[in-house]
Structure 1
Amino acid sequence: MKVVMSGLDYSLAPIELREQLSFTKECVAELDAKMTMHPGVCGCVLLSTCNRTELYISLLDGAEVAPDALLCQVAGVDHAPFAHAFVSRHKEEAVTHLMEVACGLKSQIWGEDQILSQVKTAVEIARDADATDGILETVFRTAISAGKAVKHKVRLTGIPTSAAHGGVLALERAMGDLTGKRAMVVGNGEMGRLAAGLLRDKGCIVTVTLRTYRHGETIIPAGCAVSPYEERYTTMDTMDIVVSATTSPHHTISCDDYQAVPHPPKYLVDLAVPRDIDGAIGCLAGVTLFHVDNMGVSVGKQADTKALEEVQSILDEHRDRLRHWWYYRNSIQENAHPRFPLFIDLWEKPVVVVGGGAIACRRIDTLLKFGANITVIAPHWEHKMIGVTWLARPYELGDLDGAILAVAATDNRSVNAEVGKEAKILNIPVSVADNASACSFYFPAVCMDDTVVAGLVSCDGAHHSHTAKAAKAIRKTLEELS
């Protein structure tokens, strides 16, 4: 299985192109579900923000799927116009890119805060749509962890850390001091509230438009007035500034309606993708229209060398964790995956042991310590034990009826195999002494004293010498503690 991604971002795709592949959360969930139906795709996560659209997919071994082509196909968009703008990455390169995205290192506003929550939201949406798998869950969890570590441990930059900050900074450069300026903010989502609060802090008189208002439920930035969205053109008359930040698929401010306003604002900021404000307004005389690509806050790395080294150290640490997980996962052979240690009550519970040789006797001796009600089935039994029922005959189909646990430990591989088959049909946990792949549980090396019980098995059911050494060390530790 492998991870591949294709990304469309501000560096190669202008906003006119990006907005064609910008999706609402509801649409992202629908696309996630559809893309996992594609042959060879095991899981997918679609990340859609103002500055980027990226698709991460995990593929079956041997499957060849181009994420960018898949996204365009499922979204019903012609791929050709995007062919030059998409960048695809594979395996570790894709993972490293995601980590850097989560840290804000790939953002137009370098080190921005919002991208981390957007990455988290993307994987949550995919999870709710049953579109993720274990690979992508682990990759995204690692990237989010790296992003959190960078955010809390490293000060990347002192410049604005969101598109809203960038918009306000652009207004200050164009207008000078904003104190006393009248501003209307369209949209009361996270970005709209942030923009309104920043403008208020700069001394603006701010009005926020709302489609609905419920007292005590709708959050309005302190110190801001409220106006109905339907009256936005009336409200913007005599305003100095308009900022729009919604998830609407249509323009919130059209050119015709804007021109009909008696005294329209001359400075507008569009923080949405797809864009809220009709681009034709920016061509009108005396009007300045900012959008996320022309606010003039796209910056390179502004952190000092020490900060960059700290970031790289955090990313290296998280990459190493993921490499170790990936190596461990891929090194485990099919049917030899590690068993979860589950401790169960065997007191007076029926357990069947098929076989009477040395291995069977060791198993029986261990099971007796836990009070199991044991039945041994074997023509010959080397060391008979008190309190154990012995059926002196060969194993027969049906001998496992009523048992909660079974052990196959004869010197006949075909008999052991038959015991394993019957146990699995009856859904009874079974240990097959000569075939790890036929075991539904591995019989452990047990270490115990009056207060502690430890059970050890090898991950693949074969490295018994390692298990024996570990058990010896644990028994010694228990003796020292007692």
Structure 2
Amino acid sequence: MTLLALGINHRTATVEVREQVAFSPAQLAAALGELRGLPEIKEAAVLSTCNRTELYCIADANGEQVILDWLGRYHGLQPEELIRCAYHYLENDAARHLMRVAVGLDSMVLGEPQILGQLKDAYQSAREAKGLGGELERLFQHTFAVAKQVRTETGIGRNPVSVAYAAVSLASRIFGDFGRSRALLIGAGETIELVARHLHEAGVRQLTVANRTRERAELLAGPLGGRAVTLNEIPDALVEADIVISSTAAPLPILGKGMVERALKKRRHRPIFMVDIAVPRDIEPEVGELSDVFLYTVDDLEEVIDENRRHRQVAADQAEALIEHGVEAWQHERRIRGGGELIRDFRAHCQSLRELSERQALAQLARGDDPEEVVRRLAHQLTNRLLHSPTVALREAASAERHDLLDAAATLLLDSSPDKSR
């Protein structure tokens, strides 16, 4: 049986294809049951996110084709469609891929932390569906240990590499206590949604979302305990705002210098931190001339992102080295376990031959056969039985000129013989 990783991700397939092969949480248990029920599959786990669907299996030699056929049947796709965008890894390469996924080295955003939680969920789902045996169980546990080491010993997840996170990171340099800060977010698109989430996670509890339609603003603000306003209400909301982050598709600026000046007077010149992520800009450049305003544009954020991306790449190189050590350690433990299983099987085989010879000898003694003759026959039979299979294998190896096997046999069978040990 072989460790196999097979999947598609954001690098190999479009979002339309990824949507077709994704597994919803409601589907996962039944899908794992089907996959695990295939005769060629011994163990199975499925990782399914918006950016990837991956199957980790202990399978026989033709496992890749079996899994592709099953995945196509399950989602109503032709295997040929999947082959064009699928990748697969075997043994050490599969283990290395899983570890790289766990620490975010294979993610769209280098080092992003969410994937580790998603992988732990996939592991738990596989356990509950009885898809895991000893091999995958040990691999996942080893992977989680490596991921923890990478997160602890490198800076892979410390530096923001998205515009939304960089904006919040800049705000944190000015406001030491986010719990007392009030934020006004203008727009309700994906970037503002990410900004809102990051601010909420950082401790901001007083959040206002302004948008052209109040309904859309409420959808974003409501789950975070914030309030929604329209663009016409921005002048009043601005008076209360310590942090302003804007990202709309408006063709003209939404915040002008005069509006901000009036808000500052009402605020008694308490400073406002502003980030204009929009292109074209939502905030007039002249606003940055006001002494109580800290205004940053998307270009300023790109500088932060580029710098942090360089730092994170250094950490990624360190992570790759730790993963290589992790793969070697996993491989070493696997070899030891494989040797232990072979030893147990060999000893069990020899024990069964001993018990057979013993039963025959006791039966001969019960019949009254000469004890000395019984002992001689016992030694002769047991020797022949123990040596029969190795002798046949050695003859076949010699006939096939398998010198590697012959050398290994010489080391195993002769180096430890009584004559050698004297």
> TM-score with structure 1 length normalisation?
0.49
Match of 1:324 in 2: 332
Tell me: CA distance 1:285–1:239, structure 2 relative to 1, closer, same or farther (3 Å): same
* Among 309, 314, 320, the residue aligned to 2:322: 314
For residue 46 of structure 1, report the CA deviation from its aligned partner.
0.7
For residue 182 of structure 1, report the CA deviation from its aligned partner.
5.8
Partners of 1:6 and 1:86 within 8 A in 2:
yes
Instruction: For 2:99 and 2:149, locate their aligned partners in 1 and report how far apart those are by CA, in whole Å.
Output: 11
Instruction: For 1:333 and 1:43, locate their aligned partners in 2 and report how far apart those are by CA, in whole Å.
Output: 18
Query: Structure 1 residue 303 and structure 2 residue 312: aligned?
Result: yes
**Matched letter for residue 6 of structure 1:** L
Match of 1:53 in 2: 53
Match of 1:198 in 2: 199
For residue 33 of structure 1, report the CA deviation from its aligned partner.
1.0
Partners of 1:9 and 1:53 within 8 A in 2:
yes
**Matched letter for residue 323 of structure 1:** Q
Tell me: CA distance 1:317–1:433, structure 2 relative to 1, closer, same or farther (3 Å): farther
Match of 2:88 in 1: 88
Match of 1:42 in 2: 42
SS state at 1:42 partner = strand
Instruction: For 2:329 and 2:388, locate their aligned partners in 1 and report how far apart those are by CA, in whole Å.
Output: 29
For residue 108 of structure 1, report the CA deviation from its aligned partner.
1.5
What do the CA deviations read for 1:171-220 (whole angstroms, capped 9, x no partner)? 999xxx995326999xxxxxx99964633747573489xxxxxxxxxxxx
1:274-289 matches, cutoff 5 A: none
For residue 34 of structure 1, report the CA deviation from its aligned partner.
0.5
Instruction: For 2:340 and 2:75, locate their aligned partners in 1 and report how far apart those are by CA, in whole Å.
Output: 38
Instruction: For 1:314 and 1:464, locate their aligned partners in 2 and report how far apart those are by CA, in whole Å.
Output: 40
For residue 94 of structure 1, report the CA deviation from its aligned partner.
1.7
Match of 2:183 in 1: 180
**Matched letter for residue 313 of structure 1:** A
For residue 106 of structure 1, report the CA deviation from its aligned partner.
0.9
What do the CA deviations read for 1:423-443 (whole angstroms, capped 9, x no partner)? xxxxxxxxx9965999xxxxx
Percent of residue pairs identical: 20
1:39-438 matches, cutoff 5 A: 39-61=39-61, 63=63, 65=65, 67-160=67-160, 167=164, 169=166, 179-181=182-184, 196=197, 198-199=199-200, 201=202, 203=204, 205-206=206-207, 236-237=214-215, 239=217, 242=220, 263=230, 302-303=311-312, 305=314, 307-308=315-316, 310-330=318-338, 336-337=344-345, 377=362, 393=368, 411-412=376-377, 435=386
**Matched letter for residue 199 of structure 2:** L
Tell me: CA distance 1:204–1:378, structure 2 relative to 1, closer, same or farther (3 Å): closer
Instruction: For 1:206 and 1:262, locate their aligned partners in 2 and report how far apart those are by CA, in whole Å.
Output: 11
For residue 61 of structure 1, report the CA deviation from its aligned partner.
3.9
What do the CA deviations read for 1:98-117 (whole angstroms, capped 9, x no partner)? 11111111111211222222
Partners of 1:238 and 1:263 within 8 A in 2:
no
**Matched letter for residue 323 of structure 2:** L
Tell me: CA distance 1:328–1:238, structure 2 relative to 1, closer, same or farther (3 Å): closer
Instruction: For 1:37 and 1:9, locate their aligned partners in 2 and report how far apart those are by CA, in whole Å.
Output: 25
Tell me: CA distance 1:99–1:33, structure 2 relative to 1, closer, same or farther (3 Å): same
Instruction: For 2:135 and 2:94, locate their aligned partners in 1 and report how far apart those are by CA, in whole Å.
Output: 13
For residue 136 of structure 1, report the CA deviation from its aligned partner.
2.1
**Matched letter for residue 184 of structure 2:** K
1:2-21 matches, cutoff 5 A: 2-21=2-21
Instruction: For 1:303 and 1:45, locate their aligned partners in 2 and report how far apart those are by CA, in whole Å.
Output: 30
> TM-score with structure 2 length normalisation?
0.54
Match of 1:252 in 2: none
Partners of 2:49 and 2:118 within 8 A in 1:
yes
Name structure 2 gaps, 5 residues minimum: 176-180, 233-247, 253-276, 279-301, 349-354, 390-411
Work out the number of aligned pairs and report it: 311
Partners of 2:20 and 2:75 within 8 A in 1:
no
For residue 333 of structure 1, report the CA deviation from its aligned partner.
7.6
SS state at 2:43 partner = strand
For residue 54 of structure 1, report the CA deviation from its aligned partner.
0.8
Tell me: CA distance 1:377–1:81, structure 2 relative to 1, closer, same or farther (3 Å): closer
Match of 1:29 in 2: 29
Partners of 2:164 and 2:194 within 8 A in 1:
no
SS state at 2:220 partner = strand
Match of 2:284 in 1: none
**Matched letter for residue 104 of structure 1:** G
Instruction: For 1:308 and 1:111, locate their aligned partners in 2 and report how far apart those are by CA, in whole Å.
Output: 8
Instruction: For 1:29 and 1:194, locate their aligned partners in 2 and report how far apart those are by CA, in whole Å.
Output: 34
Partners of 2:44 and 2:126 within 8 A in 1:
yes
